Structure 1
Amino acid sequence: MVTAADPIERARTLLRLRRPADAERELRGLLAQEPQHTVGHALLSLALIEQRRADEAVQEAQESVRLAPDQWLPHYAAAQVYNRARRPDDAVTAVRAALELSPEYAPAWEVLARAHLSKAEWQPMLDAALRGLSIEPEDCDLVSLVSLAYLNLGDPGQARAAAAHAVRIDPESPTAHFVYGRAELRFGDPRRAAESFREVLRLDPGFGAARDWLVRALKERNPVYRRLSRLRGRFPQGWRLIFLLPVIPPVIAVFVILALLHWVAWVAEAWSMLRLARGRATRLLFEGAEARVAVACLGLVAAGAVLLGLGIGLGQEALGVAGASVMALVTPVQEAAHTGSPRGRAILYGWAGLLGVAVVVSVLVAEPGVALLALYASIATVWLATPVRGRLTPAV
């Protein structure tokens, strides 16, 4: 005879396998027979929040708590739902209720730490994560949260040590490598940070934030960019300084040189990625979109060089400038490919497409000025992509 425990265990397994829709079907069937099943409502709330149906998830979590306010599981599930629904205050209240009933459950301390992370409360976050580690000393996610807390508290030694420890505990954890990359980027070597973010994307190609941080790491390898970034950090509204460019011509030269250096870095990145994608030992790590983008970028460089050479040889200025503009398209294409938000990626790919159309039009109408503007806009995308990426990428 099928017992009520069977759909519960099946639902738990399906949730672990990241199949929330299947888990929801199991739980709906159970609740149709037993509408007052506390665990059923709690697990259903988790299945719904995994499908980004926040309002329904909150209702199920609240129903579970109403049915069994003296059990820790409903409060714990509700805390997870509130966290995912971006209601950190409610998450803190719920998880503290769970901890009052079961203070030795380490995952509840992790949820509390994540709630404080959402509120940018670094010391309470650290305290909660360390309390969880006192129960489960080898929990990779808790160690990663400790590292993030130390990172934001400005403790480089502890942040890097905790991040390295998280990677040792679980070398296959995207979160551990992500936090290690963050620590290296803040206090260590941007090159090692870039390697860590690449590893995150290898382990979890859908980890959108890692793409954005990879861009930062690649740019931070440029010493000029590092200095300008630190200067910009001192002026929260520093973007307004762009209006001073016409009255300070030497600054224009600095920005142009920096944009060109970024273009060179993006070309080098495409070459390195293609080598990895074609290498016998690493080809399986970089199949798919990364390899296609690398090929496309190197193709743009080759095609642009051919057009530039023809323009010079034939004495056609429009064709030559168009060739340089085609090569410059590497920057918007790479900026788009390394954007974590699907919407932001679509916007930047659309921008690259418009610039490509402008280059084609410049050749058809023999107007080098149009191609020259497209050239400037392409290399300037290294700056234009930053607000797009910042506004559309969800916080981690």
Structure 2
Amino acid sequence: MSTAFPHPQIMRGLQLKQLGRFADAVTAFKEALAQEPNDAFALHQLAGCQWRIAEARREALQTIDQAIAIEPNGAEHHVLRAFILCALDRPKEALLSTQMALSLDPNDSYAHTAEAQAYLQMENWPLAERSAREALALDADNSGAANQLAQALRLQNKLAENAAHLAGMLARDPEDAFTHANAGWAALQRGEHRAAEVHFREALRLDPDFDYAREGLLSSFRARSPLYRGYLKYCFAMARLNRGARWAVILGFYFGSRVAHYLPGGYIIVALYFLFVLWVWVARPVGNAMLLADRFARFALRPAEKIEAAAVSSCLAIGITGFILNLALNWDSAMLAGVGGVAIAFPLSLVFTNQSVLGRWIFGGISGVTFVATILGVIADAISLASAPLFVGLSLGACVACAACTWLGNIRALYKRG
């Protein structure tokens, strides 16, 4: 893939791309392609810039497909296509592109890097490790593969090997934001949230828009709470399992609680199970709510995260207040309000930062219906309407739908955290 006499706009596009001005580079490459629409080099560079712009990634896929149609034997085109597909959360298709690239050039380090990225997204940590090591065997300076190896090692709980690997990476390049972010996550997994905070701050100093580090910094802030540290340990433990094993654990907890219900004192186990499920789903927004009180930490939260934190925490506050009033006054309407408030917190935690449009509609709809049904049920019960049992039944039925969200939230097509 070469251009003997590059168009002036191609040269300008390359300069802008190197400066990280991807939108301007897109314009330059498009101007060059207006003169020579079959220039595979320009198409490849254009796709590479579009890939770096989130809202242009679908267009990037179309652009690289045009380049492949012109130069089907260009391994570098298939590698870029694989990275674009990974960015579009289509890792299985990305693997097919990496296989095509490797069939054309088995010694392409970046083809193995793209393969490792696809395996990471598919949560196949051993194969991701293998691909990253193959990439590094071909190019020891491949920082992308080195960071992928760090992730794969951490996610397999190979913490000692991960620490040694990261130490070597930081010694070679202490200005790599990705390496500092990986070091931060590794520190979090070891329970060292203060050390993690230092690494995440450094990663964001080097790259202020690095969301992987921003989320890590927020997690390190939340980890100041012992309860949240427990939640993190649970998340890290679940992350080491493949998707099938995670479902087995979830089902095991559920059926275990059902069996415990029939044992002497089993109601305590059942209650603990429901508290555990509640905490798993609301820990993140509740943790963010606590960060709103921190003068520095709240600036790291996005608007959607702030809204989510306020909404979920408010529902939980209403729920807890309802339970307390019921205990103090034996007021059934307060109990209904308490159950509804806690129940609505489940789907609300899956709305505001959810990247799945379908999921947002489903969970948002369940939240809205339950909110209205609970208000009607509380009012009908409080004023002793003849139709109160109907409204109360509708409210409790909606609460059951909220509980079902704890299962639906495990379906990737419905919940993709943003």
Q: Work out whether residues 98 and 111 of structure 2, in 8 Å CA contact, stay in contact via their aligned partners in 1.
A: no
In structure 1, the partner of 2:97 is 90
Over 3 Å counting, the alpha-carbon distance change for 1:335 and 1:132 in structure 2 is farther
- Within the candidate set 333, 338, 352, 1:323 is matched to 338
In structure 1, the partner of 2:88 is none
2:31 aligned with 1:29:
yes
Q: Work out whether residues 307 and 320 of structure 1, in 8 Å CA contact, stay in contact via their aligned partners in 2.
A: yes
> CA–CA distance in 1 between the matches of 2:161 and 2:247?
28
> CA–CA distance in 2 between the matches of 1:35 and 1:129?
33
In structure 1, the partner of 2:377 is 362
- Within the candidate set 289, 292, 315, 2:307 is matched to 292
Letter of the aligned partner of 1:155 in structure 2?
A: K
> CA–CA distance in 2 between the matches of 1:154 and 1:314?
50
- Within the candidate set 127, 130, 134, 2:140 is matched to 134
- Within the candidate set 208, 217, 221, 2:230 is matched to 221
TM-score, normalization by structure 1: 0.68
Moved more, 222-231 or 110-119: 222-231
> CA–CA distance in 2 between the matches of 1:323 and 1:65?
63
> CA–CA distance in 2 between the matches of 1:305 and 1:267?
14
Q: Work out whether residues 163 and 179 of structure 1, in 8 Å CA contact, stay in contact via their aligned partners in 2.
A: yes
In structure 2, the partner of 1:157 is 160
> CA–CA distance in 2 between the matches of 1:292 and 1:352?
15
Return the offset for 1:171: 7.2
Over 3 Å counting, the alpha-carbon distance change for 1:325 and 1:262 in structure 2 is same
In structure 2, the partner of 1:61 is 67
> CA–CA distance in 2 between the matches of 1:134 and 1:182?
22
Which runs of 5 or more residues in structure 2 are unaligned?
86-92, 382-387
In structure 1, the partner of 2:89 is none
Q: Work out whether residues 322 and 363 of structure 1, in 8 Å CA contact, stay in contact via their aligned partners in 2.
A: yes
Q: Work out whether residues 231 and 283 of structure 2, in 8 Å CA contact, stay in contact via their aligned partners in 1.
A: no
Q: Work out whether residues 315 and 344 of structure 2, in 8 Å CA contact, stay in contact via their aligned partners in 1.
A: yes
Return the offset for 1:324: 4.0
2:168 aligned with 1:145:
no
> CA–CA distance in 2 between the matches of 1:351 and 1:177?
36
Letter of the aligned partner of 2:48 in structure 1?
A: L
Return the offset for 1:269: 5.5
Q: Deviations over 1:96-146 (max 9, x none)?
A: 74676xx7xx7566445436656843454132342366235xx3x332111
Moved more, 127-136 or 242-251: 242-251
> CA–CA distance in 1 between the matches of 2:232 and 2:295?
33
In structure 2, the partner of 1:347 is 362
Return the offset for 1:80: 1.1
Q: Work out whether residues 310 and 319 of structure 1, in 8 Å CA contact, stay in contact via their aligned partners in 2.
A: yes
Q: Work out whether residues 321 and 338 of structure 2, in 8 Å CA contact, stay in contact via their aligned partners in 1.
A: yes
In structure 2, the partner of 1:79 is 79
- Within the candidate set 399, 404, 407, 1:384 is matched to 407
Q: Work out whether residues 350 and 415 of structure 2, in 8 Å CA contact, stay in contact via their aligned partners in 1.
A: no
Which runs of 5 or more residues in structure 1 are unaligned?
none
> CA–CA distance in 2 between the matches of 1:309 and 1:253?
19
Return the offset for 1:79: 1.2
Over 3 Å counting, the alpha-carbon distance change for 1:349 and 1:126 in structure 2 is same
Q: Deviations over 1:35-64 (max 9, x none)?
A: 453421322343455521366234322145
Q: Work out whether residues 325 and 375 of structure 1, in 8 Å CA contact, stay in contact via their aligned partners in 2.
A: yes
Letter of the aligned partner of 1:387 in structure 2?
A: N
Over 3 Å counting, the alpha-carbon distance change for 1:383 and 1:394 in structure 2 is closer
In structure 2, the partner of 1:114 is 117
> CA–CA distance in 1 between the matches of 2:345 and 2:247?
29
> CA–CA distance in 1 between the matches of 2:102 and 2:148?
17
Percent same amino acid at aligned positions? 21
Over 3 Å counting, the alpha-carbon distance change for 1:345 and 1:235 in structure 2 is closer
In structure 1, the partner of 2:291 is 276
Letter of the aligned partner of 1:221 in structure 2?
A: G
Letter of the aligned partner of 2:181 in structure 1?
A: H
TM-score, normalization by structure 2: 0.65
2:348 aligned with 1:333:
yes
In structure 1, the partner of 2:45 is 43
2:264 aligned with 1:260:
no
Counterparts of 1:212-251 in structure 2 under 5 Å?
221-222=230-231, 237=248, 242=254, 248-249=260-261, 250=263
> CA–CA distance in 1 between the matches of 2:417 and 2:339?
37
- Within the candidate set 177, 181, 190, 2:181 is matched to 177
